[in-house]
Structure 1
Amino acid sequence: MNIQGIIPAILTPLTEEEHFHPEVTKQLIDHLIDSGVHGIFALGTNGEFHLFSEEEKLQIAETVVKAAGGRVPVYMGAGENSTKATIKLSNMFADLGVDVLSVITPYFVAPSQEELYEHFRHISENVTIPILLYNIPSRTGVSLAPETVARLSVLPNVLGIKDSSGDIANIKAYLDVTKDEEFVVLAGTDSLILETLKLGGTGAVAATANVLPKTVVGIYESFQQGNLDQSEQCQQQLQPLRATFTLGTLPAPLKKAAELSGIPVGPPKSPVKALSGEALEAVMNMMENYRIQAKAAKES
């Protein structure tokens, strides 16, 4: 299958009691697909995957697959700390109709590169649907080396990698070592979407698309049309939203921004707390500025 375009890393909507909210999840997915996204990526970092039980993850996956309804591919975060647990969850997701598994490197533990290779090789040999590797060293404490990615890229169902290192040199290295394979590299850091496309990446898994889906899609589509100025303009429009990510523990700022955009995604899951005080005011001001800009653009 083709892994390309803008794939929102969706927030996981919750009730005020922090229970999964299927109805709002469908609302969010319909809104994103109507905005032109090319896939749906659930149970990622901003989807708070690490805070849900296996039962909750299965409920989320089933809801997302049904809500997408085959309109776009569904990517699901299946990575657990143990290899066996990852294989078990991956196969349950496959049975629910998930199209692609996103498999994060183990976290808290710090495997060697050989251990990482064996982890992913064993998963690859025991699941039937495509795998997208997920590298986010700031959260896991370990990074997939380009040489390891090159070894993994030859496995038949390892189709690509989402890199959230924030290092464009790392993305370039992944592209260089896999250039002879049918293997894709996606930006996982939203500020690097355009730079990744310029280097030969095929798209992005983008959390900002929860709030600004048309803008993020605009980066990709303008680039595909050869309109680099428009693509750069869309890329720059993400910066005010991204700047608020430091105002609270993720995904609290993003959830508040999504709520203010009209999708009632609810609070983050404890121990993360919803924004308040000056942080909340800053996010409200940021969203108001986006509304003013959108209105002005419509009237011009």
Structure 2
Amino acid sequence: MKTTASLHGIIPPMVTPLLSNTEIDEEGLIKLIEHIISGGVHGIFLLGTTGEAPHLSYELRKEFIKKACSVINKRVPVVVGITDTSITGSLEIAQTASDAGADAVVISAPYYVSISQQEMVEYLEYLVPQLPLPFMMYNMPSCTKLHMSVETVRKAKELGALGIKDSSGDLAYLYALMDEFKDSPDFSIIVGTELFIPETIINGGHGAVPGGANMFPRLFVDLYEASKKGDITRIAELREKIIQIDNKIYSISSEGSKYIKSIKCALSEMGICNNFVSMPFTPFGAEKQNEMKQNISEIDFLEINK
């Protein structure tokens, strides 16, 4: 099954604005979507790692998909993460995404007990024929315990995958993907590591899913466009700003959950959405919040839409 969605450019993995473990921050959701879209992005990724999908109930995930797709209203393509330990749960979320008007679903390896490359292929062979939407792959070995081999990705492409998002942080692997599929321009190579965006685009990749685009969508769109043009001077200038995000936002904590918590805390300080994170995570305490407030005040490229 094919889609008219073009998987390229900057596709932010949107956080899930929450008021509690059972309630969506609806005002924050609207503000966040408008903030992201006004930055010129090329799509939005719902319920990825940054979206805290594994910690949300099926009911809340379904409600979020419906509300987000309604607000986005076809202005940009929407892809929805359906990875779960339960294949039935994955199919339920996929059907909700289809009914809500999403363009594609995103599949990673079921987590907790690690699976082999062959088991991943067999899983796809069973799952894909039942999907109501086109799909793309998501390589996230730090969370799933499976670093998808190039051969596994090739098998996924044969089953109809539109592309792959690689968040392994393995630049050699990323280059291997781009080399393997260089003669398949319709198979999108999308990077998750923010500092790899120029290398990806310059060497034949198609886009990125950067968490920082929740806060600074225009910055990442500018980096994508500079990379498309091969503008080395502009790339260097923008890369310095990406490093500033890492130093001032991501690095105020060392916890495994630091990216999600930092992005939500920063968005809260920017007046966009609530900083609540779902259990088992908890929001930053007063000391870290004050540190974030100070760091945000020092960033000279804030993108706040009044």
Aligned residue number for residue 60 of structure 1: 64
Give the superposition deviation at 1:103. 1.2
- Offset from partner CA, 1:84-119 (integer Å, 9 cap, x none): 332232122112211110112111111110110111
Aligned residue number for residue 93 of structure 1: 97
- Report the Cα distance in structure 1 between the residues aligned to 2:21 and 2:115, rounded to whole angstroms: 36
**Runs of at least 5 residues in structure 1 that lack an aligned partner in the other structure:** 296-300
Where do residues 1-300 of structure 1 align in structure 2 (5 Å cutoff)? 1=4, 2-15=6-19, 19-156=23-160, 158-181=161-184, 182-243=186-247, 244-246=249-251, 247=253, 248=255, 249-250=257-258, 251-276=260-285, 278-290=287-299, 293-294=300-301
Contact 1:240 1:286 in 2 (8 A): no
Question: Which stretch shifts more, 163-172 or 15-24?
Answer: 15-24
Q: What amino acid is aligned across from residue 226 of structure 2 in structure 1?
A: S
Q: What amino acid is aligned across from residue 78 of structure 1 in structure 2?
A: I
- Offset from partner CA, 1:104-138 (integer Å, 9 cap, x none): 21111111101101112322211132211111111
**Identical counterparts, % of pairs:** 30
Give the superposition deviation at 1:231. 2.5
- Report the Cα distance in structure 2 between the residues aligned to 1:54 and 1:85, rounded to whole angstroms: 8
Q: What amino acid is aligned across from residue 183 of structure 2 in structure 1?
A: D
- Report the Cα distance in structure 2 between the residues aligned to 1:228 and 1:110, rounded to whole angstroms: 41
- Offset from partner CA, 1:57-80 (integer Å, 9 cap, x none): 110000111111111001111111
**Runs of at least 5 residues in structure 2 that lack an aligned partner in the other structure:** none
- Report the Cα distance in structure 1 between the residues aligned to 2:62 and 2:222, rounded to whole angstroms: 32
Contact 2:31 2:273 in 1 (8 A): no
SS in 2 for 1:272: coil
- Report the Cα distance in structure 2 between the residues aligned to 1:213 and 1:153, rounded to whole angstroms: 29
- Report the Cα distance in structure 2 between the residues aligned to 1:52 and 1:160, rounded to whole angstroms: 26
Name the count of aligned residue pairs.
292
- Report the Cα distance in structure 2 between the residues aligned to 1:212 and 1:81, rounded to whole angstroms: 32
Q: What amino acid is aligned across from residue 169 of structure 2 in structure 1?
A: G
SS in 1 for 2:162: strand
- Report the Cα distance in structure 2 between the residues aligned to 1:16 and 1:60, rounded to whole angstroms: 13
Give the superposition deviation at 1:180. 3.1
Contact 2:21 2:56 in 1 (8 A): no
When the two structures are superposed, what TM-score results if normalisation uses the length of structure 1? 0.91
SS in 1 for 2:132: coil
SS in 1 for 2:147: coil
* Bigger relative contact order (CA 8 A; separation at least 6): 2
Contact 2:10 2:209 in 1 (8 A): yes
Runs of 4+ in 1 over 6 A off after TM superposition: none
Give the superposition deviation at 1:199. 2.0
SS in 2 for 1:8: coil
- Report the Cα distance in structure 2 between the residues aligned to 1:154 and 1:232, rounded to whole angstroms: 37
